[in-house]
Amino acid sequence: MTRVLVVDDEQRICRFVARSLDAHGFHVDSAATATDALRLAAANDYALIILDLLLPDFDGYEVLRRIVEANSSQRVLVLSAVGDVESRVRCLRLGAVDYLTKPFAIAELVERVKRRVDDHGATSMLRWLEAGGARLDLQRRSLRVGEREVPLTPREFELLEHLMRHANEVCTRLELLGDVWGYSFDPGSNVVDVCVGRLRTKLEHDLIETVRNVGYCFIAS
Amino acid sequence: MTRVLVVDDEQRICRFVARSLDAHGFHVDSAATATDALRLAAANDYALIILDLLLPDFDGYEVLRRIVEANSSQRVLVLSAVGDVESRVRCLRLGAVDYLTKPFAIAELVERVKRRVDDHGATSMLRWLEAGGARLDLQRRSLRVGEREVPLTPREFELLEHLMRHANEVCTRLELLGDVWGYSFDPGSNVVDVCVGRLRTKLEHDLIETVRNVGYCFIAS
DNA sequence: CCGGTTCGTGACGACACCGTCATTGGTCCG
DNA sequence: CGGACCAATGACGGTGTCGTCACGAACCGG
């Protein structure tokens, strides 16, 4: 069973989250202090660690740093009361895979956990992603569609990587803005649409489907 | 012992290369046809395959494609009589790790084989490279030096990656031009020097040493 | 010490990237 | 059918990247 560690000093939240994840088939451990968290993280192999930044005995960033330093492939989802951009980028730079601000809807947390756990297998470094006649070379950051080699800009690459990693799933604009652009807010423009448009002309088959009012979806079959 | 496969239709070359590599401590298998090569590649785990593009029974590019397709982490060094740029980039795009034109000095081949074999362990996807107080994040393509996060341009990243992967070894300009710029010729300008210069200002400690008349070397200690 | 070669660096310009916006085209619903 | 909303697209410009070059500094041999 997939193991997940929840780190939060509030017993209430810990139990709440644990119960919800448990109901979705995860095996959940929990820790209320940084010391416990680090000990458990070192002793077990968790698919994901859900880490509250506010802990009694240690600075949250420091805990994150140590966890990732000890095991660089450890995936961490940060929970935080502060939602500002600096904190977000700081965590992502330290190696977190996602960042969610309190208060949060439990449904969203579960969704994100599922997604990040699924990532786990895929992220562990394949050489390329392949779907629908398109092959994305993750090491060379290039795209081959059919027999032709198509150059991608960095942004286009990151966007396409995200879409292909979640092939056949709908990715919302906000999710894309967060994961590809690093925004935790809506810039109020159509950046995503434009970038998707540019990708489409390069892919030349309609591999990216638009889901009205929601976002986009890469069609794998 | 490190296993290497030599694929060449000329018996003479096969034996010659095999003997030289054997003398340097490699366990060498050889194949004279594409069919044999594919069979052996599928059956064994080679640290490196040295592949002549000119084979009696198959197109060399096709063989390369199949080898890499069957095992995307298989490293292949291409030997070829044609030295033009198109062939080179085509092979590298298909997944080759190096490209050497015939005729070649056996010493150079041995050197390259050693280097590419050493790569093997390092390349198999660490999260980051760390040396001399600098940490290069291979997934985020960013650099952390001390406590500061320094942005790198794509070129700078690739150059620094190469230098750090071969820390404490001298990298010649030609080697860098080949591996980082994809040139198989000398453009007759000082691109490398300029790019190294830009990197140095970002690293801020003199981690990159210049080796007069040869090239550059990243100092790890 | 001197001349030649090699290396470092600042300036410049071409070009690509990418976010914005306005306009057009599509879709849904009353 | 018409209006409202949403998505697609072409144009534009700011900004960053990167190769080139020229000039000065460093180095080396005689």
Question: pLDDT by residue (tens digit) across B166-205?
Answer: 999 999 999 999 889 988 788 889 999 999 999 999 998 8
Q: Is residue B111 scored above 60 in pLDDT?
A: yes
In this complex, the answer to whether residue B190 has its CB under 7 A from any atom of chain C, a nucleic strand, is yes
The whole-number pLDDT of residue A108 equals: 85
Query: Residue B124: what pLDDT?
Result: 58
Helix (H, G, I), strand (E, B) or coil at A169: coil
What is the rounded end-to-end Cα distance, in angstroms, of chain B?
Answer: 29
Q: Which of B72, B142, B144 sits opposite A127 (nearest CB)?
A: B72
Backbone torsions φ then ψ of B193, nearest 5 degrees: -55, -45
- Give the span between the Cα atoms of B118 and B143, in whole angstroms: 23
B92 within 8 A of B182, measured Cβ to Cβ: yes
Whole-angstrom distance, CA of residue B83 vs CA of residue B112: 17
Query: How far is the alpha carbon of A217 from chain B, nearest alpha carbon, in Å?
Result: 24
Q: Which nucleotide is nearest to B211 (CA to C1')?
A: C7
How high is the pLDDT of residue A221? 77
Query: How many interface pairs between A and B have CB atoms less than 8 angstroms apart?
Result: 21
Quick: pLDDT tens for B61-92. 999 999 998 998 899 999 988 777 678 778 88
Report the amino acid identity of residue A109.
L
pLDDT of residue B148: 86
Residues A86, A80: Cα–Cα separation, whole Å: 12
Chain C nucleotides reached by a protein CB under 7 Å: 6-11, 16-22, 27-28
DSSP A139: T
Chunked into runs of 10 residues, chain A (221 residues) has average pLDDT values of 93 93 95 95 95 93 93 91 77 85 87 82 70 88 88 96 92 92 87 97 92 94 77
Cα of first residue to Cα of last residue in chain A, in angstroms, is 29
CA distance A126 to chain B (A): 8
Nucleotide closest to residue A192 (CA–C1') = C19
Closest nucleotide to the alpha carbon of B195, via C1': D18
**Residue-level pLDDT at B182:** 84
pLDDT at position A124, please? 58
Q: Is the per-residue pLDDT at B125 higher than 70?
A: no
Which chain A residues have a beta carbon less than 8 Å from that of B142?
93
* pLDDT at residue A123, rounded to an integer: 56
**Pairing state of beta strands B142-145 and B134-137?**
antiparallel
Can you give the pLDDT at residue A182?
Answer: 84
> Angle at Cα B132 formed by Cα B127 and Cα B136, nearest 5°?
25
pLDDT at B133: 87
B201 interfaces chain A, CB cutoff of 8 Å:
no
Whole-model pTM? 0.84
Grouping H, G, I as helix, E, B as strand and the rest as coil, residue A200 is helix
For the stretch B20-66, pLDDT in tens is 999 999 999 999 999 999 999 999 999 999 999 999 999 999 999 99
Task: Please report the pLDDT score of residue A116 as a whole number.
Answer: 86
B26 phi and psi angles, rounded to 5 deg: -95, 150
In this complex, is the C-beta atom of B153 within 8 Å of any C-beta atom belonging to chain A?
no
Cβ of A103 near strand C (distance < 7 A): no
The angle formed by the CA atoms of residues A122, A125 and A126, to the nearest 5 degrees, is 75
Q: Which amino acid is present at B199?
A: L
Contact flag B127-A93 (C-beta cutoff 8 Å): no
Which residues from chain B sit within 8 angstroms of residue A125, using beta carbons? 125
